[in-house]
A and B are shown apart, each in its own frame.
Chain A
Amino acid sequence: MRLVGELKKLPGIGERTALRLAFHLLKSPHNMTALAESLQEVRTRVHACSNCFAVTEDDPCAICTGNRDGGTICVVENSQDLMALERSNAYQGMYHVLEGAISPLGGIGPSDLRIPELLERVGRGGVNEVVIATNFTVEGEATALYLTKALKPYGVKVTRLAHGIPLGSDIEFVDAATVQWALQGRNEL
């Protein structure tokens, strides 16, 4: 019952799924051992990079020590967003993970995020551009606007990811808010 209780704490797992997973593990001791070992390994080896705060096994992480453009820092809310950007193969700069976004209704303010560390990194010099890649939610927008203001004294170029109609979609099926944003951010050809 303890195992079911622990599994239920995971996102997207309810009582029945937790029970099913628990019985599945009981039937295959090998899987249970492998899972226990990997969980233990994650707990001891995985942590946040001391430079960019991405989830990593090495410190500094492979991106911070790799052959990347150190003059550009892309700011993301979490490590999953970083992985999504890496999958695109379109960005060769560094990252900075905020570990969340400003959420006034959730009581999360700028001091609860890795914003002071970002400002310190930029303040050390050598950074020409900060790309803000927070989500396009109210919280993400608030974070982007706050960062834009906080970075102004450093004189670096601050950019924001473009937003609009997704590739491969028909305009007639896109919601009104996205069309509104896309029109506001239209480009001259």
Chain B
Amino acid sequence: MHAEKLQAIVLSTLDYGDSDRIASLFSLEHGRIKAFARGARTSRKRFGAALEAFARIEAQVRVREGLAGLQQAEIVTIYPRIRGDLPAIAHALYACEVVEAMTPEGHPLPRLYRLLAAYLDRLEAETAADDSDRRFFEINLLNILGYRPSLESCPRCDTPFGTVGALLQENGEPVCRACAPTGRPLHPSALKALGACMATGTFGKVVFPPDLLTEGGALLDRAIATHAGRRLKSLEFLGQVTP
């Protein structure tokens, strides 16, 4: 079996024994894979600082069922500006954890790879990590993975939300007032702003006013918690270091 050269983003790593490491990679070619990097903790020559969370690398991997073999990794970028900014680190690690929690193993998702890479590039370029960008990333991630929430009409009875808006349910589903008597009210503008995020496809094009950011954020937080199926550890730290 020959080694393939993959473009990948390191999602997380796990030390194994004294000198090895298991890396969770999100690759353009194969989606999320777990790879065993023999000697990664001691071999500066073969891996250097490549196996650090959110580093973008070119990896030589023997892809096989179960654990792949990572032979060598070259750094494309370690995103030095992100590494010098605490809120940016928190956002980048959160994005990596969301992708790791919500993607299946060994299933190529090139659109999601490009979205994650664009988000990291955006964090690297921005002087301050912006919560609008996080929400832009999240709604597009849900859309790519097939978990897009219904933003125009009630998913239960198909009534358009129109100018009335919707009521947000615990599972992150916005429904009309006839289908659910209670729930967090969502203004139509918040739903429209989330829809615009999916229409533009470019970071920075949609800027959420603070109240819409809170409402849209509540929808995305609940939807991601429902679909991820586990508590995201990085979320608490993100809350601590961002306003």
Which residues of A come within 8 Å of B, CB atoms?
11-12, 14, 102, 104-107, 109-110, 136-138, 141-142, 145-146, 149, 173, 175-178, 180-181, 184
Contacts and interface: CB of A to CB of B under 8 A. Distances in A.
A144 B124 CA distance: 19
A136 B84 CA distance: 11
Contacts of B80: 180-181, 184
Interface of B: 12, 17-19, 44-45, 48-50, 52-55, 74-75, 78, 80, 83-86, 89-90, 93-94, 96-97, 233-234, 236-238, 240-241
A21 to B, nearest CB: 15
Contacts of B74: 176
Contact of B93 (A104, A178, A180): A104
Nearest to B97: A105
A109 B18 contact: no
Contact of A142 (B48, B49, B89, B236): B89
Nearest to A111: B240
B49 A175 contact: yes
Contacts of A178: 48-49
A104 B86 contact: no
A106 B238 CA distance: 13
A37 to B, nearest CB: 26
Contacts, number: 73
Contacts of A105: 12, 53, 93, 96-97, 233-234
Most buried by B among A137, A138, A175: A138
Contacts of A176: 48, 74-75
B93 A138 contact: yes
A173 B46 CA distance: 11
B236 A141 contact: no
Contacts of A102: 237
Given A145-B84, A146-B241, A177-B75, A107 B93 contact: no
A145 B86 contact: yes
Nearest to B20: A12
Contacts of B55: 177
Contacts of A180: 78, 80
Nearest to B54: A138
A109 B233 CA distance: 10
A141 B237 contact: no
Contacts of A109: 236-237, 240
A110 B53 CA distance: 19
Contacts of B93: 104-105, 138
Most buried by B among A106, A137, A141, A175: A175
A187 to B, nearest CB: 18
Nearest to A142: B89
A78 to B, nearest CB: 14
B75 A138 contact: no
Contacts of A12: 17-19
B236 A177 contact: no
A146 B86 contact: yes
